[in-house]
Every structure is written in C-alpha cells, then in structure tokens.
Amino acid sequence: MKGNKQICFLLMVFVVMFYGAKLNSQCSGTWTSDGTDCQTLTITSNEIIEICLTANNIPSGGGSSCNPGGACNPPFMGGGWAPRIFLEFANGNWTFTANSDVGECIYFQGPMTITMICLGGDTQTSFSWTTTDACGMDNCNGSPPFCDPPCDECSDPCPACGFNLPPTVQDVVDSCPDFPLYPSACNGEEVTRCASFTAAVASVDFSVIINSNCGSGNVTNFSWELFEASNCGTVLQSGDLTDLTFDNLTPGTQYVYCYTFNVPSGCCHTTHWPYFVGAIPIGEAICTIDAEISCNGANDGAVSAAPGGGTAPFIYNWSGPGGPYTGSSLTGLGPGTYTVTITDFNFTDATCFVTLVEPTAIVVNGVVTDANCPLLDDGAINISPTGGTPPYVNFNWDHLGPPSDSEDVGSLTPGTYTVTVTDDNGCTGENSFNVGGGPCCISEAGTINVIKGN
C-alpha cells in the first residue's frame, strides 16, 4: 500500500531553556525530590550521561498555583509553570513530566544541569544517572563495554521487528528491539540508521516509533535506501517520507533498510523502534518451497528456511524423510514433511515446516475401435490420460511419424500401437493398445464384402 505515511512518536513535549543553581556532581548516583519547589543538580562530566526516571510522583497540576522562588529566580519568575524535571545539556534539552514512564532513560553528552520545577510537597519522585561509553555501558564501575552495532551502515545493521499485521505503538515498544542514540541526537543533527528484516511476503511496509520531544514534526530531509543483505553495494529501491513501501521482494530473503534524516532544530531524539509489516516476526522462521517435485518418483523437490531476526551465525537442523539434514536450503527431496529448527548465536530457537507433495503417476486409458477388416484402415483409438500435471502437451504415437498434439487417432489398420503422453512438467506415461480386424472377403469385382457373424 503506497501513499503518505506518518512516522509515529511517543513523546511530544514543548520545552523552553531555563537555568538553575549547581548543587552536585559525580560519576553516578540517584536523586529523590526533597519536597521543595525548586531543586537543582549539575553533573559536570563531559562523557555521555544516562538519566533514568526511577519513580514518578510529579504533580499533574501546577499552572497558576505554582510560583517557584528562591534559587529558581531568575528566570523562573511568576506563576504558570507546570511541574517538571528539566534537563539542559550542551546540544539540547529534555523534560520529564507527570506523564513520563518510570524506567524511561535518555542519553546526553555532558555536562548537564537538571532543574526540578514546582515539585513542592513531592518527596517520592527520583531518577538515577551514570556516565556511559558510546555503547551505553556504565563507565563508573569499570565493567568492560559490550558494544551494540552502530546500526548506521548496510553492512552492520540492527535486527528490527516484523509483523504480519500493523501493530499498536505499545506492541512495538513492549516487544521490539530499541535503537538508543548514544548520545541523543539534537538540533539539526543528521542521523542514519540501518535495520535488517526478512521478507515474509512480496510487499513490506516500514514504520518507526520515535521517542523525542519534537512534537508532530519529528524529522526533516527523510530519505531511505533498500539493499539485499548479501549485496550492500547495490541499491534495490529508494524513496522518501511519502513512500514507505517496498514491492517485488522475495519471501525468505533478508534485506537491509537504511534511513537518513535530520532532527529538527530545538529538539532531540533518544530512541527509535523501527519495524516492518510483512516481515517475519523476530523469534519465528519461514519455510519456503523452492521447487515442487516435478514427477512421480523424481525426488527433485527443494526447500529453504530463513529466520525472522536473531543474531548470526545461524544453525539449521532439519528432520524429514531421509534426514537429518543441515543447512539453510535442501535439494533432491522426495515427498513428505520437512521441519527445521534454526538456532542463532544466542541459542534462541525458531521452528517451521513445509510439506512436499509429488504428482501421481500418469495413467493412459483408452477405448479401441477395431478395423472392419484386416485389410482396412478404419480402426481408431481414443485415450483419456489422468495423473501427472495437466495439461498434457504431447502425444507420441509409434508407427505414426512425428509426435502429435492429438490424443485420439484414427484410420488405423489392425496392429499394436504405443503412445507416450507428456504432461506440463515434462513427465511421461505410456500404454499400448491393440487394434483388431474383423473377417471379410474380396469379390471378383474387387469390392469388399463384410461377412458378419458370431
């Protein structure tokens, strides 16, 4: 389905820059509201800082009743401020409100000033912070980093969710891998993200859930390119925000989709959840019949399997007639059901199966009309082939010259005739028919007198 599509977003918050007093700075820590209207924390680290909301009791009211003073003045003068936690950093800002989810984390380049506005009476709201590396790993406890792929090149994508039908936003956020931005992308920054998926059908739609404070205008200058995962050097399709559908894909083939955009001025992106409708869901697998069995007894069927996401390398273990087998594709197969279990690098399994059916053998039945006399050519054979794969494209009668496309023959003298029938797959079946001749005599005048009798 082509046409205009919207990129969804989770958080729309309009914020204005404010400044507050500095109170604290360290590698990592936690903070809990002390019940006053204005509280300020400064983190002076120049590294990437992760901020996670651990408890949220931010009042949902405020408005004209909130009139912060003391260290909040200036610039927080007068009333009208809704309760919030305002984070200001080198290239942007972010806001936690009463509607923010506990467990929400953001990543920004330090240093950072955090101002808690209009939280008077709230002694339960809290957040934690720690400095991290470019992989989002804690730098404070000395743990070695485990880098996720940067996801910014076709050759090194991140796996994305696949769905059979369009999901809800909550389905995506709850079940799909997220692509955090370390640090968050802000204020006109250009971002490229690449996501891999395996097509389940020939037409696949792309969407992405974005956690940002950009409001309705989440991206500018959006463009995309589609590659086959095995050939990143060749662009298969490309487009922009008006067309997010890929057509003429091969089911079971893995593709990489790279999208590039600019973050609008004055806001930030923290996390993306890309997903594809028409792709194999992560944790599932798709089995495909690559070649049906052509003829009865031919044993020339072929099948293959592909995972929906997961982490390479993959191990394929098949069961079925003549098995076990290994590998992503099998050839030279006879009829039966073939089941594969695909195991990825993290020992996650996905299973699917496929059944091959062979055609029945070609059977050639017929009705024979005998000649009226051994010397006459008025016999006939009318055949009716069954089985195989119709239509039947060739009928080869011996003693009658080149193959014919006619299944019925006439003007036959007594004798034995053999026919070979060829179906649409090139499979053959044959049968022989005997044309007899009745008794007759020849008069002196040279005419034929048919003698009828028992």
For the beta carbon of residue 310, count every other beta carbon within 10 angstroms: 22
For the beta carbon of residue 116, count every other beta carbon within 10 angstroms: 26
pLDDT recorded at residue 7: 42
Residues 249 and 173 grouped into a single domain: yes
**Does residue 147 fall inside a structural domain?**
no
User: Is the pLDDT score of 121 beyond 60?
Assistant: yes
User: Is the pLDDT score of 66 beyond 70?
Assistant: no
Helix (H) or strand (E) holding 131: strand 126-132
**Does residue 139 fall inside a structural domain?**
no
**Does residue 453 fall inside a structural domain?**
no
CATH value at residue 78: 2.60.120.290
Residues 127 and 43 grouped into a single domain: yes
Question: Which residue range forms the structural domain that includes residue 14?
Answer: 8-132
Task: Give me the DSSP letters along 393-442.
Answer: -EEEETTS-S-BS-SEEEEEPSEEEEEEEE-TTS-EEEEEEEE-B--EEE
CATH value at residue 306: 2.60.40
Helix (H) or strand (E) holding 174: helix 169-175
pLDDT recorded at residue 9: 35
Residue 388, helix vs strand vs coil:
coil
pLDDT recorded at residue 254: 86
**Does residue 1 fall inside a structural domain?**
no
DSSP summary character for residue 279: B
CATH value at residue 421: 2.60.40.10
Residues 174 and 254 grouped into a single domain: yes
**Does residue 46 fall inside a structural domain?**
yes
pLDDT recorded at residue 137: 63
Residues 268 and 314 grouped into a single domain: no
**Does residue 262 fall inside a structural domain?**
yes
Q: Is 286 exposed, middle or buried (0-12, 13-18, 19+ CB in 10 A)?
A: buried
User: Is the pLDDT score of 356 beyond 90?
Assistant: yes
Residues 81 and 193 grouped into a single domain: no
Residues 164 and 244 grouped into a single domain: yes
Residues 218 and 269 grouped into a single domain: yes
pLDDT recorded at residue 82: 72
pLDDT recorded at residue 24: 39
Residues 300 and 222 grouped into a single domain: no
Residues 190 and 268 grouped into a single domain: yes
pLDDT tens digits, residue range 388-410?
A: 999 998 898 887 766 566 788 98
Write down which residue in 233, 249, 277 finishes a domain: 277
User: Is the pLDDT score of 234 beyond 90?
Assistant: yes
User: Is the pLDDT score of 63 beyond 90?
Assistant: no
pLDDT tens digits, residue range 18-34?
A: 233 343 346 778 888 88
Residues 93 and 113 grouped into a single domain: yes
Residues 168 and 209 grouped into a single domain: yes
**Does residue 433 fall inside a structural domain?**
yes
For the beta carbon of residue 233, count every other beta carbon within 10 angstroms: 8
Per the structure, the count of domains in the chain is 4
CATH value at residue 252: 2.60.120
Q: Which of 10, 355, 337, 18 is nearest to 172 (CA)?
A: 10
User: Is the pLDDT score of 65 beyond 80?
Assistant: no
**Does residue 143 fall inside a structural domain?**
no
Q: Average pLDDT of 63-70?
A: 48
Residue 1's pLDDT band, with cuts at 50, 70 and 90, is: very low
**Cα–Cα distances in angstroms (integers) from residue 259 to residues 19, 176, 240, in the given order:** 35, 18, 9
Residues 264 and 296 grouped into a single domain: no
The pTM (predicted TM-score) of the whole model is 0.56
Write down which residue in 312, 334, 356 finishes a domain: 356
